[in-house]
Structure 1
Amino acid sequence: MRRLVQLGLLLLVAGAGWVAVTQPENLPFALPENSTSQPTTSAPSDPTAPAPNGTLTDAALTALVTRQPISVQALRAREYPGSALTVRETLRAGANYSRQVVSYQSDGLRINALLTVPNGAPPPGGWPAIVFNHGYIPPDEYRTTERYVAYQDAFARAGFVTLKSDYRGHGSSEGEALGGYNDPGYTVDVLNAAASLKADRRVNPARLGLWGHSMGGQLSLRAMLVDKSLKAASLWAGVVAGYDVLATDWNPPATGPKPTLDRLNRRYLRALSPNALLRDLNGRPIQLHHGTNDADVPYSFQKALADDLRAAGQGVEAYRYEGDNHNLSQNLQVALRRSVAFFKANL
């Protein structure tokens, strides 16, 4: 058997939010050199050790995955208390809603976010709310009040509280921006944003969903699997294929051979992916939108997640936009109407 692929040398590339910018990120996950790709039926006393015949058992594989801080299992073991939303700046109001820059606590860091709240008294139990998760933007260029204005406005006008987290290390938020695929920080920030909304007296904690674009699509999917109180997610041009697919099919070299994985590394990356745990959605709805001419995140990633959802016995509402780009510029209003209707039906 050939030697295991050194996955830390495989580059993943994050899609841009509104602009075509790419961010290389390493996957720092490599399996033991003395493991083989054949599963066994008996686990050793140390679940991370290879079996006597040198194979890696399913139990050992699960133990290795659980040790990774980015794994859903590791994230489920953490707590997400959130905090009160502290107003930092009051902005010009929207058509029928207020706008404020607020902050909340995540891992002891002050994270800024853009909050919208419908005008008037909340309905009984509070407003439904959407945790709004943006795609990759260079962290030092990011500004809380820029980008995604039309997207957030559509949900705010429709009567949803929305909270667009900056994530750590973005703009003036505290912390270090380490990326959304090999570090748990952004996902932790999303989950603490959700917890902060649940604690807000204006919000109905039983009517909370997520919207995510590009990198924010994966953050939203992972957060849904960690926090089972989140009711629904609409994912646009999401980086939502399994890690095994991302490692080989995302921006392969223009010349030369395409990256490949041996059987064991493919099993391992697959097990590390949110896609491996989709049965845990337990019927909570997922909506997908993707353009076929997306130069940043291929349409095949939406198809991969839709196939995974169906294989896991979960429903999916998937929209394909012929010839459209990463931001669905040609079909923006159609996609926004579909997303608003989705949240009205499911929150």
Structure 2
Amino acid sequence: MVISRTTAALAAVLALALPAPAAAAAAPPADRQVGTPVRTEPLAQELRLAGAGTSLLLWYRSTGHDGRPAVVSGTLAVPSGRPPAGGWPVVSFGHGFGGIADACAPSRTGPSPWERAVQETLLAAGYAVAVTDYEGLGTPGDSPGIDGRSEAYNVIDIVRAARRVAPVGRDWASVGYSMGGHAALFAAALTSSYAPSLRHRGTIAMAPITQWGLQTKDPAFSDPARPVNHTVPYNGRTMPLTTPGFRAADWFTPKGMELVDLAGRACIGDMIAAVAGLTNGDVLKDPAAANAVFARSLADDEIPVSRYPRPVYVVHGTDDVIPIALSRLTAGQLRAAGTDVTFVPVEGADHITLLPAIATRVREWTDRLFRRR
């Protein structure tokens, strides 16, 4: 994966924001049908959203990056009180990238403070909040990292699983942040064919990661003298799973291979610290050639540009480390394809401050998607 450069201040926040992961639980065996809950248990008290009537850790059947069955973990928070007729409406929330190790899964760490702000606002407004860990996080097997189809399947199937373990309805919305914004948009594109029995109401993508082709053309990723991006070692760890014939040792230096190994167990804050002071040339044998390989691998994970059947909000801060121009372009492409898109720039917000700044507005937009206001 390639994500635009992160500032030192962001690195410090990411490194300190997440609590230590809860103790790992053994993953249950696979079942037969996507959306089938395989096991549930109460979520650890310190990981729960404030105000939840029920908080569950669940494992459920989904589809992996290769189209094969996969067991995925995640969490479900259900409002307190009596559910409305038809069950609680559901928000399936795609979380931002935090690493690919099991210890980085939100079901182990809880949400980041900025994601928690949005999730608790939605819960208080009467929405059940489901959060997938994504394939390979919190369960046996490797994570494919950024993989749009796997993300979408996981985001959708946790809604099906939630319906079998709690009083939630068929109506749902995909809401996501950063990598999760990518997941939410991919889910919007695929849900009509993948899960027609559910009623998708729309999408809110907050600072989504999009436009891989443009991102990988940034000289910052190819110049040997420029600082290496903290996501590059994760490419070396995930691409052998998703890109046939890719061998990390062909592209990474000995120091880079140390970081590729670290990527299998380090969450994003630790990786940011590990690459501090290193250049592309320190980590990659030929940065320009390696970046071209990364770009080809990411091509299949561009947001599908088509007419989405339900409304889409794309929200981005003007001071984000991921350039707002990328989200503006994505929104424009979807609008040109016939999608009902609202693009919302948030003046002065960065990748961290965006979510607390718009939590109330996200609730209002969600109400509109569900026609509750």
1:288 offset after TM fit, Å? Answer: 1.7
- In structure 1, how many angstroms separate the alpha carbons of the residues matched to 2:85 and 2:302? 38
- In structure 1, how many angstroms separate the alpha carbons of the residues matched to 2:55 and 2:347? 34
Cα separation, partners in 2 of 1:310 and 1:259, compared to 1, 3 Å: farther
- In structure 1, how many angstroms separate the alpha carbons of the residues matched to 2:4 and 2:164? 32
- In structure 2, how many angstroms separate the alpha carbons of the residues matched to 1:14 and 1:197? 34
Aligned to 2:279: none
Cα separation, partners in 2 of 1:14 and 1:85, compared to 1, 3 Å: farther
1:306 offset after TM fit, Å? Answer: 1.6
- Equivalences for residues 245-284 of structure 1 within 5 A: 245-249=214-218, 252-253=221-222, 273-276=302-305, 278-279=306-307, 281-282=308-309, 284=310
- In structure 2, how many angstroms separate the alpha carbons of the residues matched to 1:192 and 1:128? 15
- In structure 2, how many angstroms separate the alpha carbons of the residues matched to 1:113 and 1:271? 25
Pick one of 229, 240, 264 that aligns with 2:210. 240
Aligned to 2:178: 214
Pick one of 124, 131, 151 that aligns with 2:92. 131
**Partner amino acid for 1:290?**
H
**Partner amino acid for 1:164?**
V
**Contact 1:97/1:156 (8 A) holds in 2:** no
1:259 offset after TM fit, Å? Answer: 8.0
**Contact 1:14/1:136 (8 A) holds in 2:** no
SS at match of 1:231: strand
- Equivalences for residues 217-228 of structure 1 within 5 A: 217-228=181-192
Structure 1 residues without counterparts, runs of 5 or longer = 1-10, 22-78, 261-265
Aligned to 1:62: none
Q: Does 1:162 align with 2:129?
A: yes
Aligned to 2:39: 86
- In structure 2, how many angstroms separate the alpha carbons of the residues matched to 1:87 and 1:20? 34
Pick one of 134, 152, 160 that aligns with 1:187. 152
SS at match of 1:12: coil
**Partner amino acid for 1:149?**
R
1:214 offset after TM fit, Å? Answer: 0.8
TM-score by length of 1: 0.66
More helix by share: 2
Structure 2 residues without counterparts, runs of 5 or longer = 13-31, 64-68, 193-198, 226-286, 290-294
1:321 offset after TM fit, Å? Answer: 1.9
Pick one of 317, 330, 335 that aligns with 1:291. 317
Aligned to 2:239: none
**Partner amino acid for 1:86?**
R
SS at match of 1:13: coil
- In structure 2, how many angstroms separate the alpha carbons of the residues matched to 1:313 and 1:249? 30
The count of aligned residue pairs is 264
Cα separation, partners in 2 of 1:224 and 1:259, compared to 1, 3 Å: farther
Taking only the aligned residue pairs, the percentage that are identical comes to: 23
Q: Which one has a bigger Cα radius of gyration?
A: 1
Pick one of 177, 200, 208 that aligns with 1:230. 200
Aligned to 2:2: 12
**Contact 2:146/2:301 (8 A) holds in 1:** no
**Contact 1:247/1:259 (8 A) holds in 2:** no
Aligned to 2:28: none
Pick one of 190, 200, 203 that aligns with 2:168. 203
Cα separation, partners in 2 of 1:96 and 1:272, compared to 1, 3 Å: closer
- In structure 1, how many angstroms separate the alpha carbons of the residues matched to 2:334 and 2:359? 23
Cα separation, partners in 2 of 1:201 and 1:272, compared to 1, 3 Å: closer
**Contact 1:88/1:103 (8 A) holds in 2:** no
CA distances 1:142-195 after superposition (whole Å, capped 9, x unpaired): 14142232222111111100111111222x3233111124x7433332232233
**Contact 2:151/2:187 (8 A) holds in 1:** no
